[in-house]
Structure 1
Amino acid sequence: MLTRLFVFLSAAVGLVVASTVMTPSDLAARAAPTQKPVVLGEYEALGCFNAPMTFHFLQGNDTTIMTVDECLNRCVTQSTNGFPFNFGGVRNDCNFVLPHGAHVVSASQCDLACPGDPSELCGGTGVTQLYRRIDFITASVVPTFDTWASLGCFSDTPANRTLRSNIISRPDLTLDQCLDGCKAAGFALGGLEFGQEVLCGNALLGDSTLLSDQSVCSDACGGNPTQICGGSNALSVYVNNNETFTSGPAHIPDDFFFWTFIGCGIDNDFNRSIPNLLPLDPKRMTVGTCLDACQAQFFTLCAVQDGDQCWAGHGNNTPGIPTVRDACDLQCTGNASEFCGGPFRNQGYLFLGFVPDP
């Protein structure tokens, strides 16, 4: 009787085991993590992207508990200025806009399981499992703010700046912060770029061009996704109180009252060709401003340099090693229609009037 019972139980167990045995391919299919399509009812999956996000909320032991829900919940709860982020990049990054150059890559590159839930995908090496808010926040140009008015979207490059003074760069930038900062620093023009950079000035420099395609300035401000803050090599420009400002093209003035242009010379930082740097406002430099200051202090040789410097000396000084006129090609910060030398390039002027004895 005991023998029969053992045989019966063995057979029964064998049937159960047989019914649950899975092939290696079945096990692999069940173990493979997948992209979660919708998270928290707010974010939808976009796929695998090369895009790194700007705001990072990974802290302490978060790597051991990270899931898709955990990541995107932070994009909502750790919002900036009350705005939940438009994009979430698992593992644990958020942003209002996609970085420039972001594009979808092969789904096979997002092959890492989430540490907190191995059934979900959490990106891959150098790539992001990207999600976007279903209720997407869109940005638009702010036409006026306080005493400022929009001039439009202008071309800009790091080598040939439209506005030269960089005040701040911060990932949570707002339009208000930019224009308040430019105003406090005494500038007539304020500009925003890449959603997080602030540039100020008193003249539109660098042969800047007003872009007819306003979509080039399409980046939302990092701290307010309803506001446009420029774009990639594109500057959202504002003018304060409709103050006067200048733009190019620029030229070298050959004469200014009793002063005459005598050439462009190469200077160096260790042995200045013209020894005295006059303490003038670098934000508003013009050829006339420099030469007037030189004359008032009885200097007979004067030069503008680097767009915002004024150097003064006497007849025994020279602008430096002579070079071509076109080497002095940097616009004056206070007058974009004039050149004011260049980097270590003296745009030299000689005084031809009467100089009284000191």
Structure 2
Amino acid sequence: MKIGLVGLPGAGKSTVFGALTGMAVETGYGAGAGKQNLGTVKVPDARVDALAALYQPKKTTYAEVAFTDLGGGGHTGIDRAQLNAMREVDALCQVVRGFPDAAGDPPDPVNEIVELETETILADLEIVERRVERLRKDRSNPRELEVLEQILARLEGEQPVRGMELDEGQNKLLSGYRFLSAKPLLLVLNVSEDQAAAPAPGSVVEAAEARGLGLVVLSAQIEMDIAQMSPDEQPEFLATLGLEEPAKNRFIQAAYQLIDLISMLTAGPDECRAWPVPRGAKAPRAAGKIHSDIERGFIRAEVVPWQDLIELGSEAKCREAGKLRVEGKEYVVQDGDVVHFRFNV
């Protein structure tokens, strides 16, 4: 799944992308216009670290998130090219400017949030109006017309599709439209170095909460500096800034949650690994993330919460203590489950 980084010119979107991925990308107004940079980032996970310390495996593998830097062609706002690129990703992270610009003008992050929201609503409205007009004429799909008229009313009321209560059938009916204002959205406030440890301004917090959006504060320049340091140097540098860990860790974890994934864990002497699994997935579907043969031949899942495995030290001791459970096809895998699948070849 892909998460697209978007933002108005000067917000530091490409700098944030570079800080996250370690990739060298063009930055500044108009940089990378019309281009898309793609990078994959490992999701920090203390549970994987703990399991690796227990098993000392040959290999340790973290979950990953794919980020796309959605470059537009405009210098003053969100242009058509960027809007079209946004339709191709599963979720969005909007980078908003929290520092003075080159001319010394103060930031206005709330206005940037509103501007992107408005642009996505208008882009969706254009599509819905055309489709509703056609359906009203030919009456070919009354069920589709009914739900689109509900969406039309919401968009005309300047409200995004995101947040509408739609059932599974309605969501399936609308999936082909790829509405921009329906995509999950995380706000990233990019601040100056001296504000790296400060809380977000109240107005930004209110704007995020009013829209039901997540919010992460970071300084892209500092994150780039941290990324270039050795692991031994980082703690001291972070302490001087009043930070406990790189803010990019919180951002990556928040982005991972944004696409509604959880981590199923596997552990052993060969490998300790986090597997991205859709929230609510049942055991056979989760098994399919490891290999399709396991899903097809699924018999049962042996499950233990990662905390119990760490505390007791082995699956055998977890079994003796009654902490290891045997689950069938209807079991819904939980975040942090350490799972061993039994299956027919």
TM-score by length of 1: 0.22
Instruction: Say which structure, 1 or 2, has more relative contact order (CA 8 Å, 6+ apart).
Output: 2
State which structure, 1 or 2, has the greater radius of gyration over its C-alpha atoms. Answer: 1
More helix by share: 2
More strand by share: 1
TM-score by length of 2: 0.23
